[in-house]
Amino acid sequence: MNFKTLSEKRYSVRSYSGEPVEEEQLHYILECARLAPSAVNLQPWKFYVLSSQEDRSLLQQCYKRDWLSQAPLYILLTVQHDVEWVRSDGKRHGDIDVAIAAEHICLAAAELGLGSCWVCNFDAQLCHRLLNLPEEEEAVVLIPIGKAAADSKISEKKRKDLAEIVIRR
């Protein structure tokens, strides 16, 4: 599968069959995240794999959507604010690094035929508290992963045309 096909194949899955993700698949996905680039190669991230019923229900409190509970596991990506690169003008780059790793996860999952969905609209402070995260870490993105349910439909891929977003000078 070439990269464009993979990019088309990945979509936000909001309906899961509930089948468990195999350990080998999880390892592959995490390896792809580990290989993501980061500013100054600082790798200011942690990947929390949450699959126990207890941990999953904690996260479900932070993002109350019925579909979320269908996914067999979640990966929560945090940024380590004491590790991230900060440019001389003060711009922090940890969120960018974490975003790249997160998309590696989603694309790797899609390659394996698994569904995923970026979730940022969760209660990050509650999540920090419930999971007892270290002070210097901030929860950035929550990614449910699992086999898409048979009724899950690929999103329309409504995207702006290149003509609208590409500026050639």
Ligand X SMILES: Cc1cc2nc3c(=O)[nH]c(=O)nc-3n(C[C@H](O)[C@H](O)[C@H](O)COP(=O)(O)O)c2cc1C
Instruction: Determine if 117 is a binding residue for ligand X (CB under 6 A).
Output: yes
Beta partners for residue 76, in sequence order? 48, 142
Of the pair 12, 51, the CB lying nearest ligand X is at 12
The 8-class DSSP code of residue 63 comes to S
**Smallest gap, in angstroms, from Cβ of residue 11 to ligand X?**
4
**Smallest gap, in angstroms, from Cβ of residue 82 to ligand X?**
23
- Taking residues 132 to 161 in sequence order and writing x for each that binds ligand X by CB under 6 A, - otherwise, the string is -----------------------x-x----
Q: Are 81 and 92 in contact (CB under 8 A)?
A: yes
Interacting stretch for ligand X, rule CB under 6 A, among 20-28, 41-49, 119-127, 160-168? 119-127
**Smallest gap, in angstroms, from Cβ of residue 158 to ligand X?**
8
Q: How far is CA 59 from CA 55, 63, 156, in A?
A: 6, 7, 28
Of the pair 121, 125, the CB lying nearest ligand X is at 121
Percent of the chain as helix, strand, coil, to the nearest 5? 40, 20, 40
Tell me, by CB under 6 A, how many residues bind ligand X. Answer: 9
Instruction: Determine if 5 is a binding residue for ligand X (CB under 6 A).
Output: no
Q: Where are the beta strands (DSSP E) in 33-82?
A: 45-50, 73-80
Q: How far is CA 146 from CA 16, 20, 141, in A?
A: 6, 7, 16
- The two tokens of residue 100 are 């790249």
Binding site for ligand X (CB under 6 A): 11-12, 117-121, 155, 157
